Structure 1
């Protein structure tokens, strides 16, 4: 049965709202606006609504307001999908995860404001928001019945592609974490060149910050090679399964743009628009990889002995 257009629009709004939360969080970090409201939460500088507006206050308070508003959207979508689409195997779990991780990232953000957190803990903030975004995105795809349009409910994935899909998705989370660690340790410009830290000298990183930056670059390079291999494999062996064929081609396109964006961020000396596009691309890539995991689950259900 086709879902109502209202539910579809609501799902799109929730997905777009989660993207705003992700981009807003990245903007807070990249502009050093995390303490724009001081050590006050949920209020701002001692009042519920800030009375003195600076750039930092505007960015931080707007991020909080968007997070609060989108939280209600996701709560409604979770309950709505649970009641209307609860018969679909993945819906109840996705609805729970969407809310759970959204609340978790909100608490981490609040804890940072009120008590402060270490860089390694703060780096989890973006990753946890990303998990909530992925759950909301998958719910939206189910609401739009993408599986039926692309015959994804009949997908047949062989063991080799299954393990590569699971592996690269888990690994992508490591790439996300290392990228967040670059931002939170202020290591973004410790290496002024690309692809090496200093193109005039071939040498190992000489300090912690260079290790963080170059570690992230190495991790990003590996995921590009890995997805390139999976895409070639899929093009060769899965031409008759459109959702896999085009899914991995799109994943390769996104990860290629991600590499270019990462390079451009360094060479432009942290251009804010390039930096935010970098965050957006990794969100889209992770969401797509999570959908591929869902397809692996569908294949296991349809072909348990494959």
Structure 2
């Protein structure tokens, strides 16, 4: 799913979204178009990759739903993944058939991130289940430990803020406002530029990144007291700080490269990693459902070895 999103960003960055013309599901009126134009090649490749991976992801999530039907997490992650794959695909088709405003196009990319996270969290959950089946320590067990409600709220506030910042960045891109602020770290040679139009939008995007950095540093500081009991959250927050600063650096590189394709893909690639990590931390902050706690209390009797059916 990360590859699907990356190709989607490439499609946007190279202005190839209409490479197949105003046709869907056909491409320029053909099932397989002439691929001698780079925009046609990118858009057609985007559609093929989306279709293929959507099918694979859907089969994977249905299988997980059936095999781990007694676990709420498996069902929730599967619903998130399948649901947002459908919504994202529908918005992608509408973007081709109709002229959509930047706000709707930004939602298309935002929903793509949610679909990716649904699949990633489901994969992480299955990996944790396999570790439990082997009698090893897994992140799922840490969730049984009581976490102060204030910390849970902090983690989820960072998650919501991160998603809103992603939406803002997508909106800036679709408004073609990414170069409204020339140079870095100053915006057009000013610490605070005029706060209107595309310049105001681009500057707001930069400020949002700084605020996110402050939020994740504060989160890591608050989690220091949980270092011994919740190493999963503490280490994860440490990596989150590093990835957020990498995001700022890749954003600076993008601005200085005048929105070059390579720096653009590096920026959004790091962003996918960032959002996946904060989503994982958000899930890890939640207490397991009662049935899950009973299963973890007797892992050897309730969770069969890998390759064998698991019974409630």
TM-score (norm 2): 0.87
Tell me the equivalent position of 1:295. 284
Q: Of 65, 77, 94, which residue of structure 2 is paired with 1:82?
A: 65
Q: Report what 2:305 is aligned to.
A: none
Q: Superposition pairs for residues 39-58 of structure 1, below 5 Å? A: 39-58=22-41
- Give unmatched runs, 5+ long, in structure 2: 294-312
Deviation at 1:75, TM superposition (A): 1.1
- 3-state DSSP of counterpart to 1:297: coil
- Indicate the residue corresponding to 1:193 in structure 2: 183
Higher alpha-carbon deviation: 98-107 or 46-55: 46-55
Q: Report the counterpart of residue 169 of structure 1 in structure 2.
A: 159
Q: Which whole-Å CA distance do the structure 1 matches of 2:174 and 2:21 have between them?
A: 18
Q: Are 2:72 and 2:289, in contact at CA under 8 Å, matched by a contact in 1?
A: no
| Residue of 97, 100, 103 corresponding to 1:120 | 103
* CA positional deviation for 1:188: 1.0
Select 1:212's aligned residue among 178, 201, 214.
201
Return the alpha-carbon distance in structure 1 between the equivalents of residues 23 and 201 of structure 2.
31
Which sits farther off after the overlay, 258-267 or 52-61? 52-61
Give the distance between the partners of 1:46 and 1:53, measured in 2 at CA: 16
TM-score with structure 1 setting the length: 0.88
CA contact (8 A) 2:16 2:43 kept: yes
Gaps of at least 5 residues in structure 1 are 1-17
Instruction: Indicate whether 1:258 and 2:241 are aligned.
Output: no
Asked if 1 retains the 8 angstrom alpha-carbon contact of 2:179 and 2:255, the reply is yes
Show CA shifts across 1:239-292 (max 9, x none): 332211111111111111101101110011112122111111111111111112
Contact 1:157–1:299 (Cα < 8 Å) also in 2: no
Q: How many residue pairs are counted as aligned between the two chains?
A: 284
Q: CA RMSD of the aligned region, Å?
A: 1.7
Task: For residue 204 of structure 1, report the CA deviation from its aligned partner.
Answer: 3.4
- Provide, for residues 27-69 of structure 1, a one-character-per-residue CA deviation record: whole Å limited to 9, x for no partner: 1111111111100111111101112421111111111100000
Give the conservation status (yes or no) of the 8 Å contact 2:65–2:74. Answer: yes
Structure 1 runs of 4+ aligned residues shifted over 4 Å read 299-302
Correspondence list, 1:58-207, <5 A = 58-145=41-128, 148-150=137-139, 151-199=141-189, 201-205=190-194, 207=196
- Whether contact under 8 Å (2:181, 2:199) holds in the other structure is yes
